[in-house]
């Protein structure tokens, strides 16, 4: 007798599982219930449809129920909502949304792929019709139709994650005034505040207004638009508002069925994607996973993990033994002309997890400097002190960012030590890279730290450095660079003049060095160390310091209404 598998939810995890089960078992009966009208759609592409970057709505639909049936003989039922799971009877209750008709469907194996829904704050005015969320194809059409019909001139986006930034960019491309408001004082949680500064600068450069550190207290209709009410500040007014304050696992069905729940109400599964009740599996944004680096329980809503989990559940249902090893949150986002990417743990979360960590910050070129078109990127690599275990990385730049983050993500997954990055044999030709690839460079820098060739000082030390002459503060850039801006209290000796001017560096005092990127000051440190000086090199260089400091000033000085440019 053939096995019957019921899958709740399509999109990434459910559709992947359905196709994989069919590839492994031609006899299985497979039924998918999807509440929305779309069975398998590119939800990561939804923001780009709003601006017309993706102009054909059919491009968003990866499969239709008909195409899925003709290829995989999977019974895909859209506009069907599962209202209850009955594990003791091995059935689910289903409501046909078009007619309201209800029925029960039996299963041998059940896969939950319900995803997550946009977090809806319990705030006054949260139901207004000019308030939008973006999760489904229907949500996208609703926003697109409103934009096309009403030609709104302004929008406020609540939240500062992936969806918010992508929607902000796409609305800005349509010529709208866009403001992002949120409680944290930075956009993009996967990034540390220092690295997020580069994302902020790019957003501001393209006219996006940032109202960071503001708490939204409600919404009110006013003058044909919406007032976003802020705590301790004047309201922000716009023609439309998009709520993008995160997602919440869709786990009500699982809870009612008695399945064990975990972090943020997510569904607890083991590494075979099995829930606490036999023959019920769960995958995707609704499940609790193990963070690959820390081993801690986490909820990581990304398409890559959802697809892998769908495949793993299918393998196990069909008699295999596949296991999910954990998520490390590798991600990349287009921010206007820039690319920002991260993997593993950032410094903030490493410290929260109680890990004693260190970091290197570098500004390599995307490819050989002599080949035209190279652009600087800023890389931050975080590792554990003493053990030099690689914990995570963040990169902000232009071309070549995605390539480097994928190499670093692979290195973390393979358990490479941070110093072993220097040994990676990476492809080089002048249009693509440098003979010392940025990833190799990070490895060289970490090895220098390990071997005691250099010691570092950091952005967070800048304010507290003594300016009383007890330490020497030295900027090793050219006089022209120094004149165009330097850190308070630093004197200037260019690295190429240092050997001749050693007499100007007082003996017996620690020397704190800085240059534009950290390279010339490292060379200066090596010269001084060979003459018996105790030296510290600034991690990131003046370019990094200036970007972060300027951004922090803008956040501090934000006008009462938060509408700073």
Pairing of strands 91-96, 102-106: antiparallel
Residue keyed to tokens 């919406």: 226
Mean pLDDT score, 68-75: 92
Mean pLDDT score, 14-21: 94
Give the DSSP letter string of 256-295: HTT--B-GGGPEE--TT-B-SSTTEEE-GGGEEEEBTTT-
561 is catalytic: no
**So what's the pLDDT on residue 182?**
93
What CA dihedral angle connects 280, 286, 287 and 290, to 10 degrees? 170
**So what's the pLDDT on residue 38?**
80
Residue keyed to tokens 């008709």: 101
pLDDT in tens, 307-364: 999 999 999 999 999 999 999 999 999 999 999 999 999 999 999 999 999 999 999 9
Which two three-digit tokens encode residue 9?
């939810």
- Residues for the chain: how many in total? 565
Nearest-angstrom CA–CA distance, 112 and 87 = 13
User: Is residue 272 exposed (0-12), middle (13-18) or buried (19+ Cβ within 10 Å)?
Assistant: middle
Give the DSSP letter string of 183-209: SSSSS-TTS-HHHHHHHHHHHHHTT-E
CB 98 within 8 A of CB 78: no
Nearest-angstrom CA–CA distance, 406 and 474 = 36
Spatial strand order in the sheet of 109-112:
75-78, 29-34, 4-8, 109-112, 280-282
**So what's the pLDDT on residue 561?**
42
Other CB atoms within 10 A of residue 260 CB: 13
Of residues 554 and 56, the one with the higher pLDDT is: 554
CB 405 within 8 A of CB 395: yes
Residue 267, Cα to own-chain centre: how many angstroms? 22
Nearest-angstrom CA–CA distance, 291 and 224 = 46
Query: Which residue in 488, 473, 491 sits closest to 546, CA to CA?
Result: 488
Q: Which of 44, 357, 515, 535 is catalytic?
A: 44
Which two three-digit tokens encode residue 31?
């039924």
Q: pLDDT averaged over the chain?
A: 94
> How does 93-132 read in b/e, with b if 16+ C-beta sit within 10 Å?
ebbeeeeeeeeebebebbbbbbbbbbeeeebebeeeebbb
CB 443 within 8 A of CB 419: yes
Give the DSSP letter string of 67-110: HHHHHH--EEEETEEEEEEETTTTEEEEEETTT--EEEEE-SEE
User: Is residue 385 exposed (0-12), middle (13-18) or buried (19+ Cβ within 10 Å)?
Assistant: exposed
What CA dihedral angle connects 355, 358, 363 and 368, to 10 degrees? -90
**So what's the pLDDT on residue 12?**
80
What are the φ/ψ torsions at residue 119 (nearest 5 degrees)? Answer: -60, 125
pLDDT at 115 over 70: yes
Q: Does pTM surpass 0.75?
A: yes
Nearest-angstrom CA–CA distance, 271 and 488 = 53
pLDDT at 118 over 70: yes
**So what's the pLDDT on residue 560?**
44
Mean pLDDT score, 419-429: 97
| 552 φ/ψ sector (left φ>0, alpha ψ -120 to 50, else beta) | alpha
> 28-32, 98-102, 192-196, 432-436 — which is least confidently predicted?
432-436
Categorize the per-residue pLDDT at 137 as very low, low, confident or very high, splitting at 50, 70 and 90.
Answer: confident
Mean pLDDT score, 284-306: 93
Which residues are CB-neighbours of 400 under 8 A, at least 6 positions away?
A: 366, 367, 377, 432, 433, 438
CB 161 within 8 A of CB 116: no
pLDDT at 271 over 80: yes
The three-state secondary structure class of 543 is helix
**So what's the pLDDT on residue 565?**
38
Percentage of residues in the chain having pLDDT higher than 70: 98
């Amino acid at each position: 007798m053939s096995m019957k598998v019921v899958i709740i939810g399509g999109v990434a995890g459910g559709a992947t599982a359905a196709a994989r089960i069919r590839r492994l078992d031609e006899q299985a009966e497979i039924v998918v219930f999807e509440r929305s009208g779309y069975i398998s759609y590119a939800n990561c592409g939804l923001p780009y449809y709003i601006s017309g970057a993706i102009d054909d709505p059919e491009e968003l639909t990866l499969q239709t129920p008909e195409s899925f049936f003709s290829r995989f003989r999977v019974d895909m039922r859209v506009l069907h909502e599962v209202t209850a799971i009955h594990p003791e009877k091995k059935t689910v209750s289903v409501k046909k949304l078009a007619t309201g008709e209800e029925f029960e469907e039996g299963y041998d194996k059940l896969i939950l792929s319900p995803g997550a829904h946009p977090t809806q704050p319990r705030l006054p005015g949260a139901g207004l019709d000019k308030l939008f969320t973006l999760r489904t194809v229907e949500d996208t059409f609703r926003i697109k139709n409103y934009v096309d019909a009403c030609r709104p001139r302004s929008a406020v986006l609540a939240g500062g994650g992936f969806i918010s930034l992508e929607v902000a960019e796409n609305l800005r491309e349509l010529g709208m005034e866009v403001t992002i408001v949120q409680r944290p004082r930075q956009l993009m949680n996967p990034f540390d505040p220092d690295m997020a500064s580069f994302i902020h600068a790019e957003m501001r450069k393209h006219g996006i207004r940032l109202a960071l550190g503001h708490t939204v207290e409600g919404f009110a209709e006013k003058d044909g638009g919406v007032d976003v009410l802020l705590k301790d500040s004047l309201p922000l007014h716009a023609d439309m508002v998009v709520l993008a304050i995160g997602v919440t696992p869709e786990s009500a069905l699982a809870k009612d069925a008695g399945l064990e729940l975990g972090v943020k109400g997510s569904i607890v599964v083991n590494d075979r994607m099995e829930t606490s009740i036999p023959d019920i599996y769960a995958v995707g944004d609704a499940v609790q996973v193990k963070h690959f680096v820390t081993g801690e329980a986490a909820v990581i809503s990304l398409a890559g993990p959802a697809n892998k989990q769908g495949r793993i559940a299918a393998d196990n249902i069909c008699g295999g033994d596949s296991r999910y090893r954990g998520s490390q949150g590798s991600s990349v986002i287009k921010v206007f002309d820039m690319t920002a990417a991260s993997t593993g743990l950032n410094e903030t979360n490493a410290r929260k997890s109680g890990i004693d960590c260190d970091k290197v910050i570098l500004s390599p070129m995307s490819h050989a400097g002599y080949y035209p078109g190279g652009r600087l990127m800023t890389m931050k690599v975080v590792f554990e002190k003493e053990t030099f275990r690689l914990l995570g990385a963040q990169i902000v730049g232009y071309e070549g960012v995605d390539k480097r983050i994928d190499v670093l993500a692979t290195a973390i997954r393979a358990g490479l030590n941070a110093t072993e990055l220097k040994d990676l044999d990476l492809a080089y030709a002048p249009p693509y890279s440098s003979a010392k690839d940025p990833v190799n460079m990070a490895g060289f820098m970490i090895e220098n730290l390990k071997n005691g060739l250099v010691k570092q000082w950091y952005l967070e030390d800048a304010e507290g450095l003594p300016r009383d002459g007890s330490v020497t503060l030295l900027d090793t850039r050219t006089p022209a660079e120094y004149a165009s801006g330097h850190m308070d209290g630093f004197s200037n000796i260019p690295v190429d003049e240092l050997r001749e001017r050693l007499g100007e560096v007082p003996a017996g005092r620690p020397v704190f060095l800085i240059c534009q990127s950290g390279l010339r000051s490292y060379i200066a440190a090596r010269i001084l160390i060979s003459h018996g000086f105790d030296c510290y090199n600034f991690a990131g260089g003046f370019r990094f310091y200036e970007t972060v400091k300027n951004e922090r000033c803008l956040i501090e000085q934000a006008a009462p209404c938060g509408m700073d440019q």
